[in-house]
Structure 1
Amino acid sequence: MQRPPVPGEFAIKQTAPKIAGAGVTGGDKLTCAYDLVEQMDYLYVRVVKAKELPAKDVTGGCDPYVEVKVGNYKGVTRHFEKKSNPEWNHVFAFSQDRLQASFLEVVVKDKDVVLDDFIGKIQFDLSEVPKRVPPDSPLAPQWYRLEDRKGDKIKSGEIMLAVWKGTQADEAFPDAWHSDAATVSREGVTNIRGKVYLAPKLWYVRVNVIECQDLLPSDKARLPEVSVRVTLGNQVGRTKIHSKTVNPMWNEDLVFVTAEPFEEPLVINVEDRVGSNKDEILGRCVIPLSNIPRRFDNKAVPPRWHNLEKHHIVEGEKKETKFASKIHLRICLEGGYHVLDESTQYSSDVRPTSKQLWKSSIGLLELGIISATGLSPMKSRDGLGTTDAYCVAKYGPKWVRTRTIIGSTAPKWNEQYSWEVYDPCTVITIGVFDNGHWQGGGKDTKIGKVRIRLSTLETDRVYTHSYPLIVLQTSGVKKTGEVQLAVRFSCTSFVNMLHKYTQPLLPKMHYVHPLSISQTDNLRHQATQLVSMRLNRAEPPLKKEVVEYMLDMGIHIWSVRRSKANFFRIMNVLSGLIAVGKWFDQICHWKNPLTTILIHVLFVILVLYPELILPTIFLYLFFIGIWQYRWKPRHPPHMDIRLSHADAIGPDELDEEFDSFPTSKGSDVVRMRYDRLRSIGGRIQTVVGDLATQGERLQSLISWRDPRASALFVTLCLVMAFVLYVTPFQAVALVLGFYMLRHPRFRHKLPSLPLNFFRRLPARNDSLL
């Protein structure tokens, strides 16, 4: 049974973190590049290299490595075999919040099978370690003579080190070994580091199949049934079948999506349908994408003839390739479109692929990922529930990933990132995940995500809020924690930003050569797969399940919950019109006589002075807008479970939403759901049919389907034309207005004459089977 939501449990909360950007600081200020996060102090140790290390093995060599110890924390470099002059160039970062020591110890050891040998050490007093604040240059490493266990200098052996105190704004922070990940193996450290990713540049490949000439089917006694199959990677497009000719013509467009660098060629196959589910290849050509011209504007690319290759197999042996026939194609890479690499309308980038069409940026988006609280345990370790959380933020082609905080349900990241903004009507998405890969195997589990639309933010204001992380599970809607963010959107020119509101949302080619709905959906799916595949090959990889969740993959699958949510969204939009209609009905029925009299006076003024109608409407809208300013949203938008209809959904509807596609359920469950879908579809069918009926009745007024009704209407139109010609418009408007506003004692309970006439008009529903 789903637990009812607690009031305020899923609400956004304003916070007051100690950040420089909000006017509050704790300790030393961070550099201006990190003013949206709380300052975190670290002790950095850079182990560069060593020289002239003494031999410890019986063979006369040593296998050196370095231990860096501060209190209970210890970091270790990798070891080198048989090398007395090793180079590590490794950085260790120890969080000063957890340090309970006054000394830093750097120990050089010799790797051994049983017990590692001590070579030498260096010790530092932490109170004497200098501070470094960017943009100061990095601290230069120095040579230190190694000491023995008693503190005396040894005869040979030096190590080059740099030790300083800094913050997360330091350049060494992203690639450093962190003390809060001390339990992570050296191999697993790679999978917990923060990184910045760039999604690949995506292009449309448009193939216009025009015609073929001189096709040679194997059976000369029959005319071929020809179609063209175009393949690009795992994308396949096929033209219609053209029957009974060896010179078919199609002039059909097939569109694909690809990513730079181009790895796979375009394969064109001309096929003959020789039987049921059996095709014979009449010719084939392979075209590298690097040879295809790029199209940045609306100028058409000239078509070209391509030779079709055909392999002959005689007695089991493939003989030489022959140019059997030709195909006429117009192929181009189109960069004048915005390649939709997202699955929904949550677009974060509306720029085309071609740099030639890019406009200058209008501002800067800055995001501070501060911390999370109350995260749900996503896995079990040592019998206890735990979470290894990291954040992913996506805006435009730039994806960012914070470092993973191991074993904490209240992680603190305090990492800041920025993006250039080219359009304010875009959305940034921030997701929180549990890292399931750093120990090998497993999947990254979604904890929740947040979307923020930039156009809802005031410029140059820092928004510091704690956003609820909400996921929909088979057991119902659940809050899995909160993430604390700081967001600032600053614009370089307010005029340029306002000018963006007058420009087309998408590039010109979207409107000159629009894609069909089916093409758009297919290309979105293929683009998502391309982005997922490329980011999965990065280091550390951004896994497929993360990319698909951030891009809302599969959101177009039908569900009862989404259908209800969209229905209530429509009703909410229409509620204003319904309220106006009810208010006007009350005016007409004199529910408030004083208001009705005032409406009569206003109506007479507008009829006598019609030039005041439009100014009055706009003035009324102005006052409504000023009045509504009092209720202007004070917080950025966030996930709304009531709007999503997630707080009132049954278990069977949830089970249906999480079912695979195609379904994996048994026949009884599918039959029940099919019957329910037929019931819902029946109601929708009735509403659509009613709307069609009213429209057909309007058409029938002059279509003479009912000769008597059409004759009455045509005659009435003629009479009204003469009346309106000789009667002033103000007089007609006054009579009509006073008739509509007449007192209830002059009204009848029965429907009016025009309504009775309209309801008797014929529709085409009597022609339906």
Structure 2
Amino acid sequence: MGGHLLGFLKVHIIRGVNLAVRDLRSSDPYVVIKMGSEKQETRVVKKNLNPVWDEDLILPVVEPLPVRLEVYDKDRLTLDDKMGYAEFDFTSFLTEARNVSNEHQINSVITSVKPTRTNCLAQESYITWTNGEVVQNMILRLKDVEHGEIEISLRWKEVLGLLKVHVHKGVNLVNRDWLISDPYVIIKNGNKKFRTHKVKKTLNPVWDVELTLYIVEPLLIRLEVRDKSRFPAEKCMGDAEFDLTPFWQAVKKDLKADSQNNIITTVDPTRDNCLAEESHITRTDEGVVQKMVLRLRNVKHGEVEIKLRWIDIS
């Protein structure tokens, strides 16, 4: 991704209204949104011309390019049929979201955007201050189709910083192959996936690779170990989740450490986390760091050792 990342546009796809029929009697619609080279899509809602997706799609924004929304009918035997498209410009929304003050009253209207010949709005769209953030609700009239509308809302998420996840090694993993597995790791952050390379024929792999995640809010991050195989099909070798909240709270603390390796806080293993042992969040010469040993779930045994490191980009 070239240029400086401004933040993330969260597009909440609410529902479709009176969409066009593309099968014999109905359609199986889903939505795709595109901005530049970025592309995200919703799940398919079967046999419904008034589908409710109620789903967030998140686009990284380097510059506020127009967003294109496309609706398709999912087919098994043929290419998916087009059910219309719309485009919208979120420049006004971005300006308000990045410059808003907290002086607005709850649920107050900041400004509005009226339908014109050059936009796809079916009615006036309001940019409001709602529950402590700027929100824009839109009803988009689909083009190149007999009828149909899509209801969406926009929210903006500033980038808090970069999270470096160093995936060190796996310990005593379960075997999922005829001989010995070829394990690799997938890290899931929101609707983004990152993966390591595979390590051949070992149940104690050393990946020693660092993945970079843009963080906009301290969500749960999911880790999954898989066996890379053509036959039999790839199988899961266990999964784990870790909550970024304690780490993010440690990052926000204004501590002036007298020495390196100063412990900011400690996170203990509980029934609600995947820690195999207590994990220390420390301030080092690298910044705020947390080392974890994660016990994999849904398998008889196996652990993964990782390290988190925070990079402030403000």
TM-score (norm 2): 0.50
Larger relative contact order, structure 1 or 2 (CA cutoff 8 Å, min sep 6)? 2
**Which has the larger share of helix?**
1
TM-score (norm 1): 0.23
